[in-house]
Amino acid sequence: KYGEAKKAYLSAIKDLHDGTIVSYVFGRSNNNKLVFDTLDQATALLNGDRPLIHSDRGFQYTHLGFKRRIDQAQMTQSMSRVGRCIDNGPMESFWGSLKSEKYYLEKYKTFEELSAAIDEYIYFYNHERYQKRLNGLSPLEYRAKAA
């Protein structure tokens, strides 16, 4: 939320190998376009890879348009059963980090202010936020070392 009870929505895709947020779209409505644009950004980076994509059971992820995009990119979708959030757990962890480390620390008056804060946090998360599971490296440091 920002301003006087206005809402904004963030869609993101996380690489489970190194934890980087590989694509994200911030918007004013929670609709198929928000999620589809996020997936399109991510698939543009695939370079022939065919990863597994995990998601929750939200309407955007069960939509035929989402399935078509996944099939076109030759990806495999993994979606847990209703009431089991195992596939979406890593993203829920990211949302918790973003909220506690950035969002809850300030009040945002405008969409643009909140958008800039999200951009700043995701840059920090990918480039500077050290993670124990990555041997004390940031996600992009870990990725560079693996390459």
The confidence score (pLDDT) of residue 82 equals 64
60-107, pLDDT tens digit by residue? 878 888 899 999 988 888 776 666 666 677 888 899 999 999 999 999
Angle, vertex CA 76, rays to CA 123 and CA 24, nearest 5:
20
Question: Averaged over 112-139, what is the pLDDT?
Answer: 96
Fold classification of 9-146 is: Nucleotidyltransferase; domain 5 (3.30.420)
| 18-27, 60-69, 111-120: range with lowest mean pLDDT | 60-69
The confidence score (pLDDT) of residue 124 equals 98
Share of the chain above pLDDT 90, in %: 59
CA-based diameter of the chain, in Å?
46
The confidence score (pLDDT) of residue 57 equals 67
What lies within 8 Å, CB to CB, of 24 at 6+ separation is: 10, 11, 12, 13, 38, 41, 118, 122
d(CA 59, CA 34): 12
Work out the mean pLDDT of the chain and round it to a whole number. Answer: 89
Tokens read off for 141: 């440091």
Q: Does residue 138 carry a pLDDT above 80? A: yes
In this structure, what DSSP letter does residue 110 have? S
Instruction: Kindly write down the DSSP assignment for every residue of 23-90, as one continuous string.
Output: EEEEESS-SHHHHHHHHHHHHTT-TT---EEEE---TTTSSHHHHHHHHHTT-EEEEPPTT--TTTHH
Residue ranges per domain, the chain? 9-146
Considering only residues 124 and 66, tell me which one the structure prediction assigns the higher pLDDT. Answer: 124
Contact 125, 102 (CB under 8 A): no
Share of the chain above pLDDT 70, in %: 93
